[in-house]
């Protein structure tokens, strides 16, 4: 067994609450670990910091590759830290198996922000299951909150399943878009536009600005046709240029009015509570599925029976029952 | 034990394949039953009819209450049966616990269609879980296909979680809308508009017609801004009046061109296979969850710990692990 080199739960908790970034990073590594020895330690850390969580504004940011997410977060992040606010940026990309190399990658693509003492950047661990990624990201978010980060940006890539997951863990959902719908939207998941609290059209600079204004006006008209949001908030469309640093303050002001509104009308608290309940359900589901599919007998039967189901040769109900029977027999 | 009065699997299969509606109905009752004695019989029936399934056009229809779903299905259904096609209508309403009374209710609200020898109307059994409803509805769909129904309409109420489920079991998704977005959309689930292959504005008759034309044009513009569909199909917006029987033929023609397109470009088959895989996953998930939450020890711990999680007093990870531990201890 490799040397684990762990601190005591108390040391982690103390370090986090003092805002020690090294301890915070090491605690996140414990949380992300799936090693059985780390589980009780992770539980202790989480229980210890729990009373100090929940005080940040949690903001999800998504958009297809090429929309300029990193550049946006770099510029927008500076807007936040310039106000003296502590910021954490968590990035999720379930399509790539992130390593320490890509942590460096993230820091390189947000170079200015990564040297900002008020900003903390951390890629979310890639789990084997999406449920896993979600849970780790949520817990990382809690740790960052306990470390005093007042704004948390959760970045996701906008083309997979992670957007819905991120939407379920944040207070505010920001969608970055390019002017000129069409090829640029290829791969974006259906339903995302309707989830956005704010739609920002990026790269609104130089010759592109006029095109972006037109796009914004089209999107504004479209958003009026969507079902109303349960928050009572009317989704907005804004422009921004990360290069010219234009529109960033206005985006922050929009978020500010959103938070004012939902904190007063009670939706903020209501949504947080609803999310806690959902996290519990998702966490249970992820564990149950994980136990099931990591069973070797189930695995080998699944590999045989799944193609038959897909090609309509075996009924779903029969296959499911057979798999569950195999699972029960091999766990009893 | 009450008298079960079941036929042999062979008799059910033979009756279904011969298009015997009484036998079909009784077979659906077997499929819907959760009685342990019915499970192997249900499996046998499903395996027997499986080679005769998959030949229908599966169409999902949704819309908020008041949009005129029943009237639409009544008129649109007649359009289909007038062409000599056998139609089945399955209705899902997870919000109400349906009884035999409401079967009658469904038939009353689609009176003409319910007397049509080419139409078969059946409300889907309310299961305790949504997963349960889905599975039963999908299996009912298969039985109807084996009984020779060429078009299957799956109706859902448009305000809950069932739309996504229905979207996952059909080939074509039709959204009914009223002209004049606003209060009428209240309660419609976010993301549904983006899933629609066809958006039909109902009640386009009399004084309302002009308003509907304007709404259609607005929605058409909005749909252009959505991400492209994986099918290569461009979602359409059409008008219809169920009262004046106007626009129904055109809707059927739109569906026809959709099916022509996706059968040629391979998306039809691809989507069906993907759905089969998803059904298997969902079915497994539903069973695992069901086993978990029906455990009495789990149930009582959940009732205590869930409010603590919701109010941020207990960490999700800790609660989940505690619940899973309780589950394992009480099943071993």
| Long-range CB contact pairs, B226-230, < 8 A, 24+ | B226/A181, B226/A185, B226/A190, B226/A193, B226/B194, B227/A181, B227/A185, B227/A186, B227/A187, B227/A188, B227/A189, B227/A190, B227/A192, B227/A193, B227/B194, B228/A182, B228/A185, B228/A186, B229/A190, B229/B197, B230/B267
**Residue B159: which pLDDT band, with cuts at 50, 70 and 90?**
low
Backbone angles phi, psi at B94, to 5 degrees: -65, -15
Instruction: Please enumerate in sequence order all residues whose Cβ is within 8 A of that of B304, keeping only pairs 6 or more positions apart, or say none.
Output: none
pLDDT at residue B102 tops 50? no
Q: Is any Cβ of chain A less than 8 angstroms from the Cβ of B287?
A: yes
Closest by Cα among B332, B284, B285 to A301? B284
E strand intervals along A85-235: 87-92, 119-123, 151-156, 172-177, 198-201
Determine contact, residues A292/B284, Cβ cutoff 8 Å.
yes
SS3 B65: coil
pLDDT at residue B104 tops 50? no
Angle (deg, nearest 10), helices A209-224 and B209-223: 130
Cα pseudo-dihedral A325, A326, A328, A329, rounded to 10: 110
**pLDDT at residue A1, as a whole number:** 45
CA distances from B94 to A1, B34, B144, B187, B188 (A): 52, 17, 21, 15, 15
**pLDDT at residue B185, as a whole number:** 64
**pLDDT at residue A104, as a whole number:** 46
Is the torsion defined by CA of A318, A319, A324, A329 positive or negative? positive
Q: Is any Cβ of chain A less than 8 angstroms from the Cβ of B190?
A: yes
CA distances from A299 to A212, A306, A309, A330, B130 (A): 50, 10, 15, 12, 26
CA distances from A284 to A258, B296, B304, B317 (A): 32, 16, 16, 9
3-state helix, strand, coil in chain B (%, to 5): 55, 10, 30
**pLDDT at residue B105, as a whole number:** 53
- Report domain extents, chain B: 1-52, 53-265, 295-331
Least confident of A61-65, A132-136, B92-96: B92-96
Rg (CA), chain B: 22
State how far residue B124 is from chain A, nearest Cα, in angstroms: 17
pLDDT at residue B126 tops 60? no
At A17, list the tokens. 């609450």
pLDDT at residue A73 tops 80? yes
**pLDDT at residue B222, as a whole number:** 85
* DSSP tag of A244: T
User: Are A50 and B219 a contacting pair at CB < 8 A?
Assistant: no
Q: What is the ipTM of this complex?
A: 0.86
**Residue A128: which pLDDT band, with cuts at 50, 70 and 90?**
very low
Residue with tokens 């807007």: A79
**pLDDT at residue B100, as a whole number:** 39
Q: Which B positions 166-185 lie with beta carbon below 8 A of chain A?
A: 181-182, 185
At B293, list the tokens. 């939450």
3-state secondary structure A263-312: HHCCHHHHHHHHHHHHHHHHHHHHHHHHHHHCCHHHHHHHHHHHHHHHCC
**pLDDT at residue A225, as a whole number:** 83
Cα pseudo-dihedral B221, B223, B228, B233, rounded to 10: -100
Per-residue pLDDT of A297-318, as tens digits, reads 999 999 999 999 999 999 998 8
pLDDT at residue A99 tops 80? no
% pLDDT > 70, chain A:
87
Q: Is any Cβ of chain A less than 8 angstroms from the Cβ of B128?
A: no
| Dist CA A93 CA A132 (whole Å) | 13
CA distances from A199 to A15, A160, A178, A252, B131 (A): 37, 18, 10, 13, 33
SS3 A238: strand
How many contacts does A have with B, using Cβ atoms within 8 A?
190
Top CATH class of A53-265 equals: alpha beta
User: Are B276 and A309 a contacting pair at CB < 8 A?
Assistant: yes
Q: Is any Cβ of chain A less than 8 angstroms from the Cβ of B292?
A: yes
User: Are B46 and A318 a contacting pair at CB < 8 A?
Assistant: yes
Instruction: Please enumerate in sequence order all residues whose Cβ is within 8 A of that of A230, keeping only pairs 6 or more positions apart, or say none.
Output: A267
**Cα angle vertex B302, ends B298, B304, to 5°?**
125
State how far residue A99 is from chain B, nearest Cα, in angstroms: 24
**Residue B19: which pLDDT band, with cuts at 50, 70 and 90?**
very high
pLDDT at residue A137 tops 70? yes
pLDDT, mean of residues A190-206: 90
Determine contact, residues A53/A145, Cβ cutoff 8 Å.
yes
Top CATH class of A1-52 equals: mainly alpha
């Amino acid at each position: 067994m490799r040397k684990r080199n762990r601190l005591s739960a108390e040391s982690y908790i103390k370090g986090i609450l003092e805002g020690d970034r090294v301890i915070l990073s090491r605690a996140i590594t414990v949380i992300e670990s799936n090693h059985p020895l780390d589980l009780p330690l992770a539980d202790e850390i989480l229980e210890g910091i729990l009373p100090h969580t929940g005080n940040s504004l949690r903001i999800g940011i998504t958009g297809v590759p090429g929309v300029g997410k990193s550049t946006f977060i770099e510029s927008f992040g500076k807007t936040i830290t310039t106000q003296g606010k502590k910021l954490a940026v968590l990035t999720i990309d379930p399509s790539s198996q992130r390593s320490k190399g890509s942590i460096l990658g993230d820091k390189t693509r947000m170079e200015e922000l990564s040297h900002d003492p008020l900003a903390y950047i951390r890629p979310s661990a890639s789990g084997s299951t999406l449920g896993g990624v979600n849970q780790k990201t949520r817990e990382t978010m809690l740790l960052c909150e306990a470390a005093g980060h007042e704004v948390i940006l959760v970045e996701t890539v906008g083309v997979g399943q992670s957007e819905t997951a991120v939407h379920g863990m944040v207070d505010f959902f920001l969608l970055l878009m390019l002017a000129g719908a069409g090829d640029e939207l290829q791969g974006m998941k259906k339903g995302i536009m309707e989830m956005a609290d704010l739609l920002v059209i990026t790269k609104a600079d130089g010759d592109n600005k006029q095109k972006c204004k037109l796009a914004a006006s089209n999107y504004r008209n479209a958003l009026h046709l969507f079902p109303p949001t349960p928050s009572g908030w009317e989704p907005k469309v804004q422009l921004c240029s990360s290069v010219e640093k234009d529109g960033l303050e206005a985006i922050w002001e929009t978020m500010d009015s959103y938070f004012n509104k939902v904190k007063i009308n009670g939706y903020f608290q209501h949504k947080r509570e609803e999310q806690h309940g959902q996290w519990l359900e998702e966490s249970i589901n992820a564990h149950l599925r994980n136990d099931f599919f990591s069973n070797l007998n189930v695995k080998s039967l699944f590999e045989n029976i799944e193609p038959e189901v897909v090609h309509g040769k075996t009924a779903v109900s029969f296959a499911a029952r057979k798999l569950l029977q195999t699972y029960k027999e091999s766990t009893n």
